Structure 1
């Protein structure tokens, strides 16, 4: 079989009539040339514009990135500066807090010492001196100075309590300032971490991602001025508290010194009153003992005097009996012999004199016995007063003074 022949038979013979002329064909070609050339020129212009735009955008992008990097560096420096300032202020607050804590302990030690030692000793002395007896239970200089010392201690305690509250409040304010500085530093440390991470990122860094969320990527609600003002206010507050703390511990220093001097002054005044009172009491006791000794001597002398008077009275009774007997015997004479002679007259005179003398001796005896009773009563009173003075001396000299020696007002 002739395949070529079969293939020719299958070819369709086109129509002999053409739809376009040769002129149209040339015209169409020229139009195509111009269109192609125009599009090529447009493309060249677009390419040129694209190159220019890409270069401009590339420069702008690099410039913007450089500006952002610069701003980030400035921001990091600002944040580090404020953070450092916060740390400086925090150190100052810590230092002043430690100083005030020391002064707070000193005030508390002073209050504890006054309460547990000085006040107890003073009140114990007051209670001990209530054990004085009789006339010695007097409101003397010692009692007045002890009460004044108690009032001084109470006044010092009140003043120290007020100062302690001031110190506690200042410590609280310093801690509050430190707390807000710490919080601000934590925020700034976090911001520094973020900004340093941001400045380390490059367009070629890994794990970059496009944000497709609906939330705004600009959640800023604080201006730079407000941010700086906030940090400055924290620093100003810390500075204020530090400046308030410094004169406070200077004041506490002066206060502790002053109250210690006041306490010592009153302590010495009270002790001097004790010494004067002890000396006065000892002197009075010695005089009373001398009077007691003299009284005992007078009692013994008076008792001998009474014995002598009683003996004299007894002796005179014998003489009276003798005179009476003589008169009785002479009364037995006969009537003519019972004359009032010199013997009778003298006997009668002797009896009268003896009676008068016995009466005088009896009166003297009564007076001597009364004097003896008063002397004995005085002896008892003197012995009681001596015992009272001895008791007072024991309370003031033996009980109170050694107790007061343990009092110690020192510069707390």
Structure 2
């Protein structure tokens, strides 16, 4: 206890030690220090006044610069919006023309396809059927006549028209594809300009007091544009120039299609008329020949009937001469039995012998005429059969040409499609 009390007393003695007195200054040092404080204060006041003036100037300058920059940007935005709207309008006008050409080429393509279908699936098939049908002509009528030559020529004309239509149709397909490709690039450009127009219109409406303004604290650049203004303008100009070029190519193509269709139809109609005229001429010629053959047939039949009657008369005449011959022979035979000198060559015997010779000559002549009449009848009957065959051949030819072929050709019709 005693030890603890002594320790506390020592600690209190140490903590109450008095520090040394502060330094003393002279009166001159006091005056100097006051003057220094005045000068420092005045200097700081002058610096602060200059800084305040400079701050006012800088603040005014920056406000004017910010306002001027904003006005400049607003003007540029307005100018850019008008430029985009103008270019968009130009693109839309050209796009409208491109669409018109695409639709027009679609109509012309349908015309070409209709013409090709009519030529290939109708006219050519009919001509080939006519050639096949005419192969069923009989006998001498199976000839390479003008009709066959015109039909083969018509097939060549139709195939030539078909080739020309196919080539023109391919050109139309290619031109339509190029127009649609141009339309695709224009639509892509219009879509980009719509987005750009939406963004710049929105930017044009923004002010420094607008809501939802924010500062960017990222590291990426806020101006990543790598395309120059001339390149941007060139893109639209290129699209317009390409579209105009394709339009200028499509319009002459439509005129060319009109010319081609007219030329093809004229050529086909001319050849069709030539073939039809050959058919009509051949039909008339066949009818004329058939009529002459029928007249000949009727005359042959008349002569055959007359010859048959003549043969009957000759047979009757020969039979009658045989009776006279038998009478003369009997008389001569009876007179051969005369006795003695009575068996003389008198006038009766001479007459009987002459009668027998005359009858033999007459019978021989009648028999010769009978044979000739029979031969003539056979020739007449054979000629009759040949004429009937020829008439049937001509009737078959007329059926093929006038009924079958001309009926088929009635469905051949060419127009301008």
TM-score, length of structure 2 as denominator length: 0.92
Within a 5 Å distance, the mapping from 1:216-231 to structure 2 comes to 216-231=221-236
By how many angstroms is 1:13 displaced?
12
Q: Does residue 153 of structure 2 align to residue 148 of structure 1?
A: yes
Is 1:282 aligned to 2:304, yes or no?
A: no
Q: Which moved more, 1:289-298 or 1:42-51?
A: 42-51
Q: Which residue of 2 aligns with 1:118?
A: 123
Q: Which runs of 4+ in 1 moved over 3 A?
A: 12-15
The residue number in structure 2 matching 1:38 is: 43
Q: 2:100 corresponds to which residue? A: 95
Question: Aligned in 2, Cα 1:18/1:297: closer, same or farther, shift over 3 Å?
Answer: closer
Q: Distance in 2 between matches of 1:286 and 1:169?
A: 60
Deviation at 1:123, TM superposition (A): 2.1
**In 2, Cα distance between equivalents of 1:14 and 1:335:** 238
Aligned partners of 1:107 and 1:13: how far apart in 2? Answer: 122
Shift of 1:186: 0.4
- The question of 1:409 aligning with 2:414 is answered yes
Q: Does 1:194 align with 2:194?
A: no
Aligned to 1:320: 325
SS at match of 2:222: coil
Corresponding residue number in structure 2 for 1:383: 388
Partner of 2:3: none
- Any unmatched runs of 5+ in structure 2? 1-15
Picking from 61, 68, 78, the partner of 1:73 is 78
The change in CA–CA distance for 1:327 and 1:69 in structure 2 (over 3 A counts) is same
For residues 190-246 of structure 1, the C-alpha deviation after alignment (integer angstroms, 9 at most, x for no partner) is 111111122222222221222121212221111111111111111111001100000
Aligned residues: 401
Provide Cα deviations, 1:30-83, integer angstroms capped at 9, x if missing partner. 110111001111111111122112222222222222222222222222222211
1:232 aligns with 2:237: yes
CA distance in 1, matches of 2:173, 2:213: 53
In structure 2, C-alpha distance between the alignment counterparts of 1:84 and 1:403, rounded to whole Å: 57
Residue matched to 2:187: 182
Alpha-carbon distance in structure 2 between the residues aligned to 1:46 and 1:13: 45
Which residue, 177, 191, 208 being the options, matches 1:203? 208
Give the Cα–Cα distance (whole angstroms) in 2 for the partners of residues 124 and 13 of structure 1. 142
Aligned to 1:167: 172
| 1:376 CA drift (Å) | 0.2
Deviations 1:3-34 (A, max 9, x none): xxxxxxx9x9995x861112211221111011
The normalised TM-score by structure 1 is: 0.93
Structure 1 runs not aligned, ≥5 long: 1-9
Q: CA deviation at 1:136?
A: 1.3
Q: Deviations over 1:133-181 (max 9, x none)?
A: 2111112111111222222222111111111111111111111111100
Select the residue among 15, 24, 27 that pairs with 1:19.
Answer: 24
Give the whole-Å Cα distance in 2 for the aligned partners of 1:21 and 1:13.
Answer: 22
- Take 1:319 and 1:382, find their aligned partners in 2: how far apart are those partners? 43
